[in-house]
C-alpha cells in the first residue's frame, strides 16, 4: 500500500454518488464515522452541488471534507467493461484512482459491485504472492461475527487460491475482530477430510501442515449448517459457493423476521406477547440488520477498497468506513505480506519423512 499521507490520520476517498440514496447517506455516514474515529479525513468525489447540499446538514464534516467535482456516475445497470472505459470520469473510478496514486488510504463506495471490483483490480493489481483478490465480509452467528470469503469475486478456485484466501481471511479477522489466532475452516459438504472437491482436499492438506507457522488455527471443514454456529472465525470457500451462502443467509434472515411479524399479528394474544417480548425482538432485529455488519472488502489488492451495501443507511455506511479505518491503521497489507512469506518459507523447507506430498508438486 503506497499511501503518502499519515496512516494515523488517514484520508478516505468516498464515492458520493454510489448506492440507492447518494450523497445524503455518504456525508452523514462519514460524519458519524468521524465521531467514532476523530483522526479521519475525507475526499468526496461526485457532483458538487449535491455534496454541498448534504454537507449543509453536517457542519462538523465541512472542515474535514474536500470535494472533488465529477459529473460521471457508475449506474447499477452498467457492465464492468462500460465502467472501466469511463473510470477516469466517474466518482467511483476517481475514488479508486486516489488510492492508486497514494493520495487516499482507502476508497469506500456503495455503488455497482461488479464495476467496482473490475476497476479496483485493474487500477491496484494484486499483492505479491496473491493470485486473485477475494471479496470478504462479516456474517452474524450465534456467538459473534465470522469472516467469510470469497463471496463472489472468483467462481472457480484451485487449492492455491483457497489457501491464499485462508491466510488473507485470518489476517482480516485479526485486524477487524481483534482475534490473536482465528479459527479457520473450509466450507464443505461434510466435516470429514475425504469430503469435497479435490481443490478443497488439497488446500486442507497444505494449510494443515503450514498452520504451525501461521497466526491461525486450522479446524478442517465446516458444513453450511455450521456457519451460523459461530465455532469458526474464518470460513473459506470459492466465490460461487460463498455468494450462494451469503444470499441464502440474507434470505433466511428476512424469512425469520417476516414469519415473526406475521405470527405476532395473528391475534390479540400474540400481540400481547409481542408487547412483553419487544426488547428481545429488537435485539434480534439488530443482530440480523445488515447495516451492523456492513463493509465488504476486495482483499488481496495493493490498496484498501471497501464495498458498502447499496441500500445501507447512515449507520451502515459509517460501519463501512470503520472497516476501512481498521484495515489502514492496523496495516492489513503488512500482515498479509508477513503471513504469506511464512507460508512460502514453510513450503520451501524439506518435508519430514513420511509426510504426504505437496499437492502443488504433484500438479507440476
pLDDT exceeds cutoff 70 at 141: yes
pLDDT exceeds cutoff 80 at 270: no
Nearest 10 degrees: Cα torsion 343, 347, 353, 358: 110
pLDDT exceeds cutoff 50 at 364: no
In angstroms, rounded to a whole number, what is the distance separating the alpha carbons of residues 321 and 39?
12
- pLDDT at residue 68, as a whole number: 94
Q: What are phi and psi of 337, to 5 degrees?
A: -55, -50
Q: Which three cell numbers stand for residue 101?
A: 496514486
Q: What is the pLDDT of residues 154-180, one digit of tens each?
A: 888 999 999 999 999 999 999 999 999
pLDDT band at 263 (very low <50, low <70, confident <90, very high): confident
pLDDT band at 126 (very low <50, low <70, confident <90, very high): very high
> What is the pTM assigned to this prediction?
0.86
Q: State the chain's mean pLDDT as an integer.
A: 87
- pLDDT at residue 361, as a whole number: 52
- pLDDT at residue 275, as a whole number: 67
1-125+301-330 and 127-295+332-364: identical CATH topology:
yes
More confident call, 69 vs 352: 69
Domain residue ranges of the chain, discontinuous segments joined by +: 1-125+301-330, 127-295+332-364
The residues with which 137 forms a beta bridge, in sequence order, are 148
254 touches 221 (CB < 8 A): no
pLDDT band at 31 (very low <50, low <70, confident <90, very high): very high
More confident call, 222 vs 284: 222
pLDDT exceeds cutoff 50 at 345: yes
CATH (one of 3.40.630.30, 1.10.287.3510, 3.40.50.970, 3.40.718.10) for 127-295+332-364: 3.40.718.10
The mean pLDDT of 81-93, rounded to a whole number, is: 91
Q: What is the pLDDT of residues 194-239, one digit of tens each?
A: 888 999 999 999 999 888 889 999 999 999 888 888 899 999 999 9
In angstroms, rounded to a whole number, what is the distance separating the alpha carbons of residues 189 and 201?
12
Q: What percent of the chain has pLDDT over 90?
A: 52
Cα separations (Å) of 245 from 149, 151, 248, 276, 328?
Answer: 10, 8, 5, 34, 28
pLDDT exceeds cutoff 70 at 281: no
Q: Which three cell numbers stand for residue 57?
A: 446538514
Query: Domain spanning 1-125+301-330 has what CATH number?
Result: 3.40.718.10
pLDDT exceeds cutoff 80 at 289: no
Of 196, 146, 129, the closest CA to residue 334 belongs to: 129
pLDDT exceeds cutoff 70 at 362: no
The mean pLDDT of 135-147, rounded to a whole number, is: 88
pLDDT exceeds cutoff 60 at 135: yes
More confident call, 2 vs 347: 347
pLDDT exceeds cutoff 90 at 182: yes
Amino acid at each position: 500500500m503506497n499511501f503518502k499521507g499519515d496512516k494515523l490520520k488517514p484520508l478516505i476517498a468516498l464515492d458520493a454518488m454510489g448506492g440507492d440514496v447518494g450523497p445524503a447517506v455518504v456525508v452523514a455516514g462519514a460524519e458519524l464515522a468521524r465521531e467514532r474515529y476523530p483522526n479521519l479525513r475525507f475526499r468526496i468525489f461526485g457532483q458538487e452541488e449535491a455534496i454541498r447540499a448534504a454537507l449543509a446538514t453536517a457542519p462538523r464534516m465541512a472542515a474535514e471534507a474536500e470535494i472533488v467535482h465529477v459529473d460521471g456516475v457508475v449506474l447499477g445497470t452498467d457492465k464492468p467493461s462500460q465502467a472501466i472505459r469511463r473510470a477516469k470520469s466517474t466518482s467511483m473510478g476517481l475514488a479508486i484512482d486516489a488510492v492508486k496514486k497514494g493520495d487516499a488510504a482507502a476508497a469506500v463506495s456503495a455503488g455497482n459491485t461488479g464495476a467496482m471490483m473490475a476497476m479496483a483490480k485493474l487500477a491496484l493489481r494484486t499483492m505479491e504472492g496473491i493470485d486473485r483478490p477475494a471479496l470478504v465480509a462479516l456474517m452474524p452467528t450465534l456467538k459473534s461475527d465470522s469472516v467469510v470469503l470469497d463471496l463472489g469475486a472468483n467462481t472457480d478456485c484451485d487449492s492455491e487460491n483457497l489457501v491464499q484466501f485462508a491466510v488473507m481471511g485470518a489476517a482480516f479477522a485479526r485486524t477487524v475482530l481483534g482475534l490473536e489466532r482465528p479459527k479457520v475452516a473450509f466450507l464443505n459438504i461434510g466435516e470429514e477430510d475425504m469430503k469435497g472437491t479435490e481443490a478443497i482436499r488439497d488446500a486442507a492438506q497444505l494449510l494443515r501442515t503450514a498452520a504451525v507457522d501461521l497466526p491461525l488455527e486450522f479446524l478442517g471443514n465446516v458444513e453450511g449448517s455450521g456457519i451460523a454456529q459461530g465455532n469458526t472465525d474464518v470460513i473459506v470457500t470459492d466465490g460461487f459457493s460463498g455468494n450462494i451462502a451469503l444470499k441464502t443467509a440474507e434470505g433466511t434472515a428476512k424469512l425469520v423476521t417476516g414469519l415473526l411479524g406475521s405470527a405476532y399479528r395473528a391475534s390479540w394474544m400474540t400481540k400481547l406477547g409481542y408487547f412483553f417480548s419487544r426488547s428481545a425482538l429488537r435485539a434480534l432485529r439488530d443482530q440480523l440488520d445488515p447495516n451492523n455488519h456492513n463493509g465488504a472488502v476486495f482483499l488481496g489488492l495493493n490498496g484498501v477498497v471497501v464495498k458498502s451495501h447499496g441500500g445501507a443507511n447512515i449507520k451502515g455506511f459509517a460501519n463501512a468506513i470503520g472497516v476501512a479505518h481498521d484495515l489502514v491503521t492496523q496495516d492489513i497489507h503488512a500482515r498479509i505480506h508477513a503471513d504469506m512469506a511464512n507460508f512460502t518459507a514453510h513450503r520451501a523447507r524439506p518435508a519430514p519423512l513420511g509426510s504426504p506430498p505437496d499437492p502443488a508438486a504433484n500438479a507440476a
